[in-house]
Each structure stands twice: as structure tokens, then as C-alpha cells.
Structure 1
Amino acid sequence: MMRLLGTIALFLFLTAITQIGGIILLMSLLLRRWFGALAMVASFPVLYLIGTFFLVPPLASAISGRVPLPCSGPASLQSASPLYCLLNRNYVTPRLFDLAQALSRSTEDAFPGTVTRTLDGNFPFFDGFPLLPHLSHDDGRKLDLAFHYEGGGLRSPIGYFAFQKPLPGDPQICPDQPILSLRWDLDWLQPVFPKLPIDIERQRMVIDWLTNEGKQYGLEKVFIEPHLTARLNVSDPTIRFQGCRAARHDDHLHIQLAD
């Protein structure tokens, strides 16, 4: 019984973090019945990598119409970490893919050598399947982008959780934390990250492009904290505050398209 419960828990965990991991686990368990435990252990990573990089992209395109964002390479659009591609969290609709490509090219033209780094997109299959811990990111129309920092690097190796705290005089939002909230401050983690300031000119250019040219691709919302909106001196009806119960957006930029 304990083995069965453990298998169910592992199936649910792998499904929750990769969408396809639970199915790969079941395939490996079948091999265990035929060839033993060693075959199961050895086959899981092989089957998972084959599925992730060779089978899922064409299936996602055929079933849900989603396409994977680039993982790495010399291009101006890349994933901030290989984890997003390895965990199948880099899928978006073709229109959002085109927006990200166009944004990266325009940013690189304005600031040569700039790489636009993507964070969480969506899973490859099925609208409504949650991409934890996000409250949305479940239909291919949402994408998080890493901030541009002075020097061109990232404060966090995965692009998240290195927050830009409000400066004196900036708007102070959510002084009283709601009990049920994903708005983590993670104060204990902040000293780990290098103190890189946001590149104001590049980040302003990105938001200006999104709120102008981005609308040609159906841009509906840009989530960013109000104190950064004020610091960057940007304004547009598409720029929103996500609310005090959702994750902070002073460590990354969230964009989404209309239906």
C-alpha cells in the first residue's frame, strides 16, 4: 500500500511540475514489470528527454496550437534557464511567440548585444491546466520576461525572486499582507542576489514597445509593480497592478494577450 501511495504521489508531482512526467513514469513502470527495476530507473530520463524535445513540440502544435520558445543559442531571444525548457514551461501561442521574437529584435537593434530572456510561459497541452505556482499561465497567452539589468546579467539564476524594493518616495503597495497570498517577500533570500540595478533605459524601451507595437500582436496586459512604473516613467492602460494576493512583479515582467 505504501508503495502504491508513493507511486501516486510521484505521479502527481511529476505531472504538476512538467505536465508529461507522470505519463513517462507510467511508461517506465511498465518496463520495470518486463525488465526489472534497473530498466525503470535507466529508462525514465531517456524517455523523458525524448518526449520533451522530440515528441512534445509537434504534438503540442497539433493538439493545442502552442509552440516552444527558444531555449538557448546565439539568438536575441533565449530562455533565462534551461529548466524552463526541461520542465516544458516554455510553450506559448504562435502570436505570443511572434511578439516575443519581434520584441527581442527591436531591443537588440536599440541596444546591440541585448538578449531578451524568457521565464515561465505555459505547458504544452490543455487550457486550464495550472502552471504552478502561477494563478494564470494556463492557456498559452501568458509569458514572463526577465528584467534587464545594468551589465546585461541577471540578479537571479532563474530570473525570479530577486525583488526590486521601493525606493524612498516610491508608491508603497500592500503594506498589510493578506493571509492567503502568493505575494512572497522572501527577505531571507535577498542577500544572496547581487545588487544589480535595473537598466532604466532598456527596460523603459521594452515597456514602451509592448504598449505600442505590442498591441499589433494582441497585447492585453503588462503586470509590473506600481513603484517600478513610476521609476520607469511609463504609462498606458495595458499596464496593470496584479493585486496583493498574486506574486510580486518587481522581479520580472508579465505579459499576456487577449483571447
Structure 2
Amino acid sequence: MLRFILHALIVIILTLLTQIGGLAYLITLVVARALRLRRFAANLALFLLLYAGATFVAHLTAPTFGRVPLSCFAGTADPLVIRSPIYCALNRNYVTRGLRDLAEALAAHMEKQFPGTVTVALDANFPFVNGFPLLPHLSHADGKKLDFAYYYKDADGAFLNGATRSPIGYFAFEEPAPGDELPCAGRHDWLTTRWDFDALQPLFPVYGIEEQRTAAAIAWLTTEGVARFGLQKIFIEPHLKNALGITDAHVRFQGCRAARHDDHIHIQIE
């Protein structure tokens, strides 16, 4: 019974993390039993092989279901990159064709306006099934949502191309200054993903948002992104919206139950 519960938990966790990992694990159990594999290393190697195969199959078949992968193998000259290989390994790099075209067009625009500039993508969506949650996000479930990292500068004001404050691009927050707009002040929701991760903040380098590039990217998104690609919403924290001088109505606050958006930019299309 305990063995069954353990296997069930592993299937659930792998499914929530990767969408297809739970299925690969179930196949591993069947094949390992048929081959009478006893050693942990052999079973682990078999699972990794099957998971890699399932990931490759997902890469080939996802377009049939309306989603395409953002490239995990960007070259040195590519203006759009995914922040970490972990997003590709976990199958979190899938979007609709329209959103892929938007992301590539934004990156091309930024590289043209600021030669050499790299635009960094973060979490996207899983390859299959509308409505399947991409935890901890509340809305990345239909291929039409994508997160970008902010553009950063060092303490001396020098642009840091392709850099993020955290290794995965999330959880290193830009703290509001005294007097900034704080829409969630005084709230203590128990059901929320608006985590502050205060203990982590001293671990991240002291970078600041590079205002010129960040404002230019959002300006393009709220004009060309809307007109050409059907951009619907952008989520950033109000204190950053105010600091960047953004007034466009497409740039909104995501609400107090959703994750903070002063570590990344969330976009979604219609």
C-alpha cells in the first residue's frame, strides 16, 4: 500500500511539474517490471530515457494541438533567449503561434533599437491541453501567456545584457520605495501566491531595472503588440508602472492573490 501511495505521489508531482513526466514514469514502471530491473540507477536511467523521448515527441506533436515551442537552442546572434534550460527540460516553453510571433517580433525590435540587446523569456505554457495548470501561475494554461524578464543594469548604471537577478528570472523583487502605490497593503490572504520570499532577497545581486529598454519594450507591446498580435494585457506592479511613466490601459495590476510582478513582465494575447 505504501509503495502504491509513493508511486502515485511521484506520478502526481511529475505531472504537475512537467505535464508528461507522470506518464513517462508509469511507462518506466511497466518496462522495468518486464525487464526485471531492480537497481535504482537502472530505473532512473530508464525513466530519463523515456522522459527525453516523450519530450521529443511533445516537441513534434504539440503544433498539431496549436502550440509551438520557443527555441531552447538560441545562438549567440539570436535576440530572444529562454533564461534557463530548466524551462525546456520541464516543457514550460510552449505558446501559440501568434504569441511566438509576438515574442520574436519584440526581440527583433529591441535588438534593432538597441543593437545587441537580448530579450529574455521565462515561463510560457505546457505543450498540451487548455486548462492544465502551469504551477505556480494562475493563468498560464492555454498557450496565450508568456513571461519576460526585465532588462537590468548594474549599480553603476551599465546595461547587463541577458542578465537576471535570480538564476531562473523569478523571485528577485524590485521593492517599492516609501510612498509608492501599494495596492495589497494590509491584506493577509491565506489563499495566495503573492509570496515575498524575504529570506531570499539578500542572496540576489544588486541590479536595477534598465528603464530605457524596459519602457521601450512595454511601449512596443502596447502599440505594435496590440495592433499586430492582439495583445490583451500586461501585468506589472503599480509602483513600477508609475516609475516607468506608463499610462496605457493594457498595463494592469494582476490582483493581490496572484504572484508579484516586480520580478517579471507577464503578457497575454486574445
TM-score category by the smaller chain? over 0.9
* CA distance in 1: counterparts of 2:60 and 2:66, whole angstroms: 9
- Determine helix, strand or coil for the equivalent of 1:109: helix
* CA distance in 2: counterparts of 1:229 and 1:49, whole angstroms: 41
Q: Alpha-carbon deviations, 1:186-210, whole Å to 9, x = none? A: 1111000001000000000000000
- Determine helix, strand or coil for the equivalent of 2:246: coil
Aligned to 2:61: 59
Q: Is the 8 A contact 1:60 1:124 kept in 2?
A: yes
* CA distance in 1: counterparts of 2:217 and 2:183, whole angstroms: 23
* CA distance in 1: counterparts of 2:100 and 2:219, whole angstroms: 19
Describe how 1:38-53 pairs up with structure 2 within 5 A. Answer: 38=39, 39-52=42-55
Say how many residue pairs are matched: 256
Aligned to 1:168: 178
C-alpha RMSD over aligned residues: 1.1
TM-score (norm 2): 0.92
2:18 corresponds to 1:18: yes
Shift of 1:89: 0.4
Describe how 1:77-156 pairs up with structure 2 within 5 A. Answer: 77-150=80-153, 151-152=160-161, 153-156=163-166
Unmatched segments (≥5 aa) in structure 2: 154-159
Shift of 1:73: 2.2
Shift of 1:142: 0.3
TM-score (norm 1): 0.96
- Determine helix, strand or coil for the equivalent of 1:144: strand
Shift of 1:232: 0.6
Q: Is the 8 A contact 1:119 1:159 kept in 2?
A: yes
* CA distance in 2: counterparts of 1:155 and 1:43, whole angstroms: 36
Aligned to 1:183: 194
AA aligned to 1:37 is R
Q: Alpha-carbon deviations, 1:48-93, whole Å to 9, x = none? A: 11221x211121111x210001123221111111010000001000
Aligned to 2:157: none
Aligned to 1:8: 8
Misfit runs of 4+, over 3 Å: none
- Determine helix, strand or coil for the equivalent of 1:48: helix
* CA distance in 2: counterparts of 1:46 and 1:173, whole angstroms: 47
Q: Is the 8 A contact 1:170 1:231 kept in 2?
A: no
* CA distance in 2: counterparts of 1:29 and 1:186, whole angstroms: 37
Q: Which moved more, 1:34-43 or 1:84-93?
A: 34-43
Shift of 1:171: 1.5
Q: Alpha-carbon deviations, 1:82-134, whole Å to 9, x = none? A: 01000000100000000000000001111122111111100000000000111
Identical amino acids, percent of aligned pairs: 52
Shift of 1:31: 1.4
* CA distance in 2: counterparts of 1:23 and 1:167, whole angstroms: 47
* CA distance in 1: counterparts of 2:22 and 2:142, whole angstroms: 20
* CA distance in 2: counterparts of 1:69 and 1:37, whole angstroms: 38
- Determine helix, strand or coil for the equivalent of 2:152: coil
Q: Which moved more, 1:166-175 or 1:77-86?
A: 166-175
2:223 corresponds to 1:212: yes
2:83 corresponds to 1:73: no
Q: Is the 8 A contact 1:120 1:144 kept in 2?
A: yes
